[in-house]
């Protein structure tokens, strides 16, 4: 058997209609997983799922706003009805409504970040992990960020939520390890997605940005998707509770 095969596994990927989530969904489908495409917009989900099916993969589309517990439950229930219990969960959807000093963030914006970015991961894991244990084990991959590793004067609440992801991974790795469930984070640096377009579209801004990174370039979505496939597959089956930083060396160099 191929070490990186995900043949037959059901994988839920939140925020998978663009960027990193999309790359993860495409690569997981390519490696044999039955993928659940999910984001707030049903049309966008349908489009991605049908594109994957056209290329020979198995994919369904279930829209879900991660802010609502009932919708998270729907996501899990519909997945079970249509494909069976998930043995791979990728918590990728997150939001960042505020840019500026922590001094000035409103209570509403702060709570919104914690509720969506930390709360949804916690709640989705609560709903998915018991079923995963029944399947004999599985893998959870939380897409965190290098923002959770350093101090910041502009992305404070977001960075707190991304640091929390790393602790969720450690907690759940210890709690669910005996049931053969592994929980890890990926902490990407700057990646070539729409989310970061402002930083790579303009050549001058791009050069100024990457001059601080040892590899002198930003990452490609596939370079994050590769780690996700690794962590979900037999190749990564002794790695748990960890955060894999993928930033070309940016964090250790600064």
Query: Closest distance between other proteins and the C-beta of residue 244, in Å?
Result: 6
Q: How far apart are CA 21 and CA 143, in angstroms?
A: 9
Tokens 């990646």, residue? Answer: 191
Q: Examine residue 174 and tell whether it contacts other proteins (CB under 8 A).
A: yes
Among residues 138, 193, 230, 232, which is the contact residue for other proteins, using CB under 8 A? 230
Closest listed residue to residue 89, CA positions, set 99, 98, 81, 79: 79
Among residues 69, 97, 206, 226, which is the contact residue for other proteins, using CB under 8 A? 226
Q: Examine residue 225 and tell whether it contacts other proteins (CB under 8 A).
A: yes
Q: Please give, one letter per residue, the 3-state secondary structure of 107-121.
A: HHHHHHHHHHHHHHH
Query: Closest distance between other proteins and the C-beta of residue 19, in Å?
Result: 15
Q: Examine residue 182 and tell whether it contacts other proteins (CB under 8 A).
A: yes
Contacting range for other proteins; rule: CB under 8 A; set: 21-29, 75-83, 92-100, 201-209: 21-29
Q: Examine residue 252 and tell whether it contacts other proteins (CB under 8 A).
A: yes
Q: How far apart are CA 123 and CA 119, in angstroms?
A: 6
Contacting range for other proteins; rule: CB under 8 A; set: 12-20, 86-94, 144-152, 243-251: 243-251
101 C-beta neighbours (distance < 10 Å), count: 11
Query: Closest distance between other proteins and the C-beta of residue 69, in Å?
Result: 28
Contacts for 192-199: CB closer than 8 Å, 24+ residues apart: 192/218, 192/219, 192/220, 192/221, 193/18, 193/19, 193/20, 193/221, 194/18, 194/19, 195/19
Query: Of 128 and 183, which CB lies nearer to other proteins in the complex structure?
Result: 183
Q: How far apart are CA 153 and CA 150, in angstroms?
A: 10
Among residues 114, 154, 208, 215, which is the contact residue for other proteins, using CB under 8 A? 215
10 C-beta neighbours (distance < 10 Å), count: 25
68 counts as catalytic: no
Q: How far apart are CA 213 and CA 206, in angstroms?
A: 11
Query: Of 145 and 233, which CB lies nearer to other proteins in the complex structure?
Result: 233
Catalytic residue among 98, 158, 206, 213: 158
Query: Closest distance between other proteins and the C-beta of residue 129, in Å?
Result: 14
Catalytic residues: 158
Using CB under 8 A, list all residues that contact other proteins.
2-4, 26-27, 29-32, 55-57, 170, 173-174, 176-178, 180, 182, 213-217, 219-220, 222-223, 225-227, 229-230, 233-242, 244-249, 251-253
């Amino acid at each position: 058997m191929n070490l990186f095969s995900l043949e037959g596994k059901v994988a839920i990927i939140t925020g998978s209609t663009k960027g990193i989530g999309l790359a993860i969904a495409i690569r997981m489908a390519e490696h044999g997983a039955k993928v659940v495409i999910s984001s707030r917009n049903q049309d966008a989900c349908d489009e991605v799922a049908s594109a994957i099916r056209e290329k020979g993969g198995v994919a369904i589309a279930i829209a879900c706003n991660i802010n609502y517990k009932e919708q998270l439950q729907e996501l899990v229930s519909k997945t079970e009805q249509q494909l069976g219990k998930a043995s791979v969960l990728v918590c990728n959807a997150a939001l960042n409504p505020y840019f500026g000093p922590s001094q000035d963030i409103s209570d509403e914006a702060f709570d919104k970040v914690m509720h969506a970015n930390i709360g949804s991961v916690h709640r989705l894991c609560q709903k998915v992990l018991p079923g995963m244990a029944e399947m004999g084990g599985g893998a959870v991959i939380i897409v965190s960020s290098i923002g959770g590793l350093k101090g910041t004067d502009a992305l404070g609440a977001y960075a707190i939520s991304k640091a929390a992801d790393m602790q969720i991974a450690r907690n759940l790795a210890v709690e669910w390890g005996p049931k053969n469930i592994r929980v890890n984070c990926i902490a990407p640096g700057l990646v070539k997605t729409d989310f970061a377009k402002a930083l790579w579209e303009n050549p001058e801004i791009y050069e100024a940005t990457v001059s601080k990174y040892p590899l002198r370039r930003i990452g490609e979505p596939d370079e994050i998707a590769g780690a996700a496939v690794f962590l979900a597959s037999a190749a990564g089956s002794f790695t748990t509770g960890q955060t894999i930083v993928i930033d070309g060396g940016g964090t250790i160099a600064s």
